[in-house]
Amino acid sequence: MKKMLQRLLIFFIGLPLVILIVCFLPHFNHLALNLTVIVFSALGAVEIAAMLEKKQMRISKIEALILGALMPAAEALSLGFNWDAQVAAAFFFAGVFQVLVSGIFLRSENFERYAGRMAAGFTTLIYPGLLLQWIIKMGRWEGAEIIIMVFLLIVMGNDSAAWAAGMLFGRGNRGIIPVSPNKSAAGFIAGGAASIAVGAVAALLFPGTFVPRFDSIFIISSALGAGIILGLLSGLAAVLGDLSESAIKRGTGSKDSGHLMPGRGGVLDSIDSVALAAPVFYLIFTLLFKF
């Protein structure tokens, strides 16, 4: 009961805060949102580094923090200074260079740790930062506030509907995914329906933003059809993101990624769905809609 109340409290505080940041603080190329993404990415990287340490894959917390923040920071700087994509690529190379070269200076008796250190370094460089940077990329689009808000609602709606349906109707249909036995079929169905509904409603409410790219292809030629596909695929990616993080936790013997988010666990427990869904949403949107 306590965990449920904490989760509800986080939702009713977090959702208005997200709306405030995205819709009412678009100043300086969405600086508030960009900083939020960078901070959450850095903290998430520290958490995953702590989990990997249990399997003898070690990097320092400072290194994990920097690697986790690197790619979102590169994308935010590119957006803020109107730099091209090569700048982000240069930052990524710098991160790869650091991970590879830092092992050169290990003491001879520690060389056997190099492979584990490299694995942890590349993991924290890529996850979640390389995925979350796609949210910042959305800031380049006209109507970015609406698009980013719709993306977050697709993911948050999926998570909230799945949790509520699982609590109410999931008692007899749990355990269908071994990596996360508490997830239920009722939850998956409700979460998918919520994501589809958000995509469809958004396409109808904001026709000036959700303009179909194609005008002669069945289903995706209408804003409604394209919105349904956008919600469906982004919602599916959100579910897979959540399950992937569950697999990481099981593989490292961790119950939660951390303890910073009451009722949810760690930061990574709260952004796992967002991380994997962000590039999927971005790519599907660019395929189906004009921007």
Q: What is the pLDDT of residues 46-62, one digit of tens each?
A: 999 999 999 989 899 99
What's the pLDDT at 225?
Answer: 92
What number of other Cβ atoms are within 10 A of residue 262's Cβ?
13
- pLDDT score for 282: 97
Which pLDDT belongs to residue 144? Answer: 93
At residue 4, the pLDDT reads 57
Check residues 270 and 237 and name the one with the higher pLDDT: 237
Residue pLDDT, tens place only, 213-253: 877 566 666 889 999 999 999 999 999 999 999 999 999 99
Q: What is the pLDDT of residues 143-155, one digit of tens each?
A: 899 999 999 999 9
What percent of the chain has pLDDT above 70? 90
Residue 256 corresponds to which amino acid? Answer: D
Distance CA 273, CA 262 (A): 18
Tens digit of pLDDT for each residue in 147-176? Answer: 999 999 999 999 989 988 988 898 888 878
Q: What is the model's pLDDT at position 262?
A: 62
